[in-house]
Amino acid sequence: MTSSKPLSLARQFLEILFSGRDLDRLYSLLAPSFQFEGPFLLADGAEAYVETLKADPPEDWRCQILESFVSQGSACLVYRFSKPGVSTVMMQTFRCGSDGIEHTRLVFDTAAFSEKSKG
């Protein structure tokens, strides 16, 4: 795997996710054993992750990549996430292998979402 491959996969992942359309395209990027870890969701397996997204698809999500890093089969994207009433910086790591993205961890301050639910 070239060093640019994890970064390319990570960017494609966000492009599909934030489009909110044709989420089945994620399968072409994810290893079957893909694992997702985030503050509001844990998913074990590509199918579990994609089907969860399809059940509650992203709507009006925006993403502006602020920084990106790559190192030996892994990539990290730091981006500004926004949707109506919510804006926060998120960091997401992507570990990749020969089958695609194997694991991703999403980290952000959940307070921005808590404040949205109060108002």
As a whole number of angstroms, the distance between CA 43 and CA 89 comes to 22
**pLDDT tens across 25-62, in order?**
999 999 999 999 999 999 999 999 999 999 988 889 99
Taken in order of first residue, the domains within the chain and their CATH numbers are 4-118 (3.10.450.50)
Q: Which has the closest alpha carbon to 95: 41, 33, 43?
A: 33
Is the pTM here over 0.85, yes or no? yes
